[in-house]
Structure 1
Amino acid sequence: MTWSTVPLRRVVDCLDGRRIPLNAEQRASLHGEVPYWGANGVLDRVYGSLFNEPLVLLGEDGAPFFEVGKSVAFYVEGPIWPNNHIHVLRPRAIEPRFLAYCLNSVDYGSYITGSTRDKLTQEDLLRIVIPYPTWPEQRRIADFLDAEIRRICRIVELRQTQDALTQDRLQAIRDGRVAALYEKYGSVPLRRLMRSIEQGSSPQCDAVPAADEEWGVLKLSSVKSGRFIPGENKRLPEGELGQTASSNVVHVGDVLVTRANTPALVGDVAVVDVGGRFLLPDLIYRVNLGADADARYIAQVALCTRVRSLVSAQARGSSQSMVKLRGEDIREWPIPPAPIAEQLSFMDQIEQAGSRVAALRSALARQISVLTERRQALITAAVTGQMDVTTARGVGVS
């Protein structure tokens, strides 16, 4: 099917001038039930609204414009309060749901500006060209996509639930094994098994990861759920290494603990298991252990529910979006003083269980990826006329 096209300025009114951003303190004082929108979705709930009508919201800056399957446009009804990072569009000559689907199929490469943060200016927004079939066809496409996307999302949610359950299973295995060690050996504070604890520094870095022969300062996200993710770093500019202490160099076998993060993530632990030119930042501790403690063992015990509960009690901060741990807090973590041989046996059991869980999670991730790609392909095909939605119910989704 061949349809005409139209620039966005012909079919919408841009209401960005009525947006009002609120900081965390202001939102706390206005806490309510109305969605407070940012570039990536609902950030909070507030009292009062700026709009109460059918609208389409489109990310302005920081939205995932180039991530397959990630929505950047949203159809909304009812009261909302948008901040200044998301455009507010009032459809006036186009079906609102169809418009949102169109904007989620646009190639934004020709419209985005910004060297460090993707930004869609209002001027570029209004020159976006979209398909423009008849109004009845727009409605048929929107109805079809509503039903099909709902089915796909339901399957994705089921797979995500399965993934969460597999993680819970690994946590239950870890807790059971650690509980047996507590019962057998009791516990000693971590300071009895360590030599020192240190933190690095965070010099000004480039907003890209370091290449193979470059130095990178680790980000908080390099320590995640017991895993070390080396790609999560920021490149240190050439010539800056001399100003960074050599003691900040990260080595294989180092135990890393996040010093500051959200309440759920602070105190996360990982062991560095790959080499590279990485530097310790100021928001991650390195725990230097004594000869009686295996690094992987300490990390796994630190991830058990007993220690994580203690971390929650220890974490301090004036904002619930970011809390911190002191080195003194980490020194007090209770660790079963098992002999090295039993620590290694414990790790064999945990790693075997972890391998089984990782294989299952990998299979689930592949399924979710395929479904996400299918969702995007379906939207693009429907809004561009590559498929006839009147004869395409349930295509390729089971």
Structure 2
Amino acid sequence: MITREIVRAAFPVVPLDEVVEFLDHRRKPVKQSERVEGIYPYYGANGQQGTIDGYLFDEPLVLVAEDGGHFGDPDRGIAYRVNGKIWVNNHAHVLRPKACIDIRFLTRVLENYDVGPFINGSTRAKLTKAQAKRIEIPLPPLEEQKRIAGILDQAADLCRLRTRALDKLDTLGQAIFHEMFGDVAQNSMGFRRGTIGDLAAETQYGTSEKASETGPLPVLRMNNLTYDGRMDLASLKYMDLKASDFAKYTVVAGDMLFNRTNSPDLVGKTAVYRGQSPMAFAGYLVRLRANAEGNTEYISAVLNSAYGKATLRGMCKSIIGMANINAKELCKISLPIPPRQLQDAFSNRLAEVDKERLKFEAAIAESNTLFASLQHRAFRGEL
């Protein structure tokens, strides 16, 4: 996070208004229902929001979130550089750098800037144009700006390369699944066909106990399950369970969780818990444990496959608002039933992929720490 104290440390500072021209008057919002997809990027507060069939700008620019941005966590990025034919809605300020400032340097200053002191709005945080103009920008000589931007760009490229490698690793699990089980929709491998219920030893709904910010036991909620079949433990809440309810409402390694209630697009999110410490699970989730014929890694992979997603969408196609697929309906979903040994072999290969994932995630965290350190040193004049 870049604060005013950091940017004041080594270089002269000027208001943002002195180094850019605001082009906000040329922005034009378009309702999603009225937007016609096309070849031109459509931008908002947090980056590209889709495409559109026309453009408003065609030059190098910097976009800064006006409202709806990550103002409480600017390390996620509140500014980004764009170029070419684009459309921008009214949730991002449009900045044209003046000759005195390098566009790459300006982006690096603004992308993680703590704009908290400039935010207005009690219900929805907003960085108004009047307040944005007051943001203090360090202004070293132009050549020094380019040098600093070059160093930071190299560090950011390292972060991107490692993130792309992780993205490719994510597709490896899908490739392994297809290699071992073929097209599950067509059952191209000719396995015996059955239902998820044929592979389930038990299903259990989660606890309705209220969660809070602190407590002895972390609790998994529907937001902790990702659409692509993983568990995101970055945002957890906690609770205390009675001893008599502990086994009933906790997961152990190998348990599968199924998001039974959500929007029609998100209901059915599925992931396997691989942690070593028990965690509670909330009421919108179903815990499934496999019997001697099944492996939850295989069941979860089926539900996260194109076939599984299409099946779940079909089960919710007539529902408006919150959709629900209960445990009985989950168990009726059809799937091929490979030999247990093959399912276990798939699970073992996924475990190896998961080990590699941990290495990549550690490398990405190291890269992000390095970038943040370089950013701070750069604007303190220590590079």
TM-score, with length taken from structure 1: 0.68
Q: Which amino acid aligns with 1:49?
A: Y
In the alignment, structure 1 residue 101 sits paired with structure 2 residue 100: no
Q: Deviations over 1:270-321 (max 9, x none)?
A: 245654454223xx5x265685565xx134333049x7132233225789xx
- % same residue: 27
In the alignment, structure 1 residue 308 sits paired with structure 2 residue 288: no
Task: Check conservation: 1:194, 1:287, Cα contact below 8 A.
Answer: no
Report the CA distance between 1:46 and its aligned residue.
1.0
Map of 1:129 onto structure 2:
136
Q: Which amino acid aligns with 1:356?
A: E
Structure 1 residues 117 and 232, CA, compared in 2 at 3 Å: closer, same or farther? farther
The counterpart of 2:361, out of the listed 342, 360, 365, is: 365
The counterpart of 1:189, out of the listed 170, 175, 195, is: 195
Once the two structures are superposed, the pairs formed by residues 38-57 of structure 1 within 5 Å of their partners are 38-57=44-63
Task: Check conservation: 2:74, 2:114, Cα contact below 8 A.
Answer: no
Q: Deviations over 1:54-79 (max 9, x none)?
A: 43211123433465754322233433
Task: Check conservation: 1:105, 1:380, Cα contact below 8 A.
Answer: no
Once the two structures are superposed, the pairs formed by residues 240-319 of structure 1 within 5 Å of their partners are 250-252=249-251, 255-259=256-260, 260=262, 267-271=268-272, 275-281=278-284, 284=285, 286=286, 297-304=295-302, 308-314=305-311, 315-316=313-314
Structure 1 residues 256 and 362, CA, compared in 2 at 3 Å: closer, same or farther? closer
Q: Which amino acid aligns with 2:13?
A: T
Report the CA distance between 1:41 and its aligned residue.
0.9
Structure 1 residues 202 and 302, CA, compared in 2 at 3 Å: closer, same or farther? same
Q: Deviations over 1:113-140 (max 9, x none)?
A: 567865433343222111123xxx22x2
Gaps of 5+ in 2: 1-8
In the alignment, structure 1 residue 24 sits paired with structure 2 residue 32: yes
Report the CA distance between 1:226 and its aligned residue.
4.4
Q: Deviations over 1:234-262 (max 9, x none)?
A: 689xxxx9xxxx9xx84326642235569
TM-score, with length taken from structure 2: 0.71
- Partners of 1:318 and 1:119 lie apart in 2 by 37
Report the CA distance between 1:188 and its aligned residue.
0.8
- Partners of 1:16 and 1:49 lie apart in 2 by 14
Task: Check conservation: 1:50, 1:79, Cα contact below 8 A.
Answer: yes
Structure 1 residues 378 and 355, CA, compared in 2 at 3 Å: closer, same or farther? same
In the alignment, structure 1 residue 378 sits paired with structure 2 residue 374: yes
- Partners of 2:121 and 2:336 lie apart in 1 by 48
The counterpart of 1:158, out of the listed 157, 161, 169, is: 161
The counterpart of 2:65, out of the listed 59, 66, 70, is: 59
SS in structure 1 at match of 2:250: coil
Structure 1 residues 125 and 218, CA, compared in 2 at 3 Å: closer, same or farther? same
Structure 1 residues 172 and 215, CA, compared in 2 at 3 Å: closer, same or farther? closer
Task: Check conservation: 1:6, 1:130, Cα contact below 8 A.
Answer: yes
Report the CA distance between 1:212 and its aligned residue.
1.6
Report the CA distance between 1:37 and its aligned residue.
0.9
CA RMSD of aligned residues (A): 4.5
Map of 2:89 onto structure 1:
83
Q: Which amino acid aligns with 1:122?
A: K
Structure 1 residues 210 and 229, CA, compared in 2 at 3 Å: closer, same or farther? farther
Q: Which amino acid aligns with 2:166?
A: D
Q: Deviations over 1:98-123 (max 9, x none)?
A: 32232235333433456786543334
Task: Check conservation: 1:257, 1:268, Cα contact below 8 A.
Answer: yes
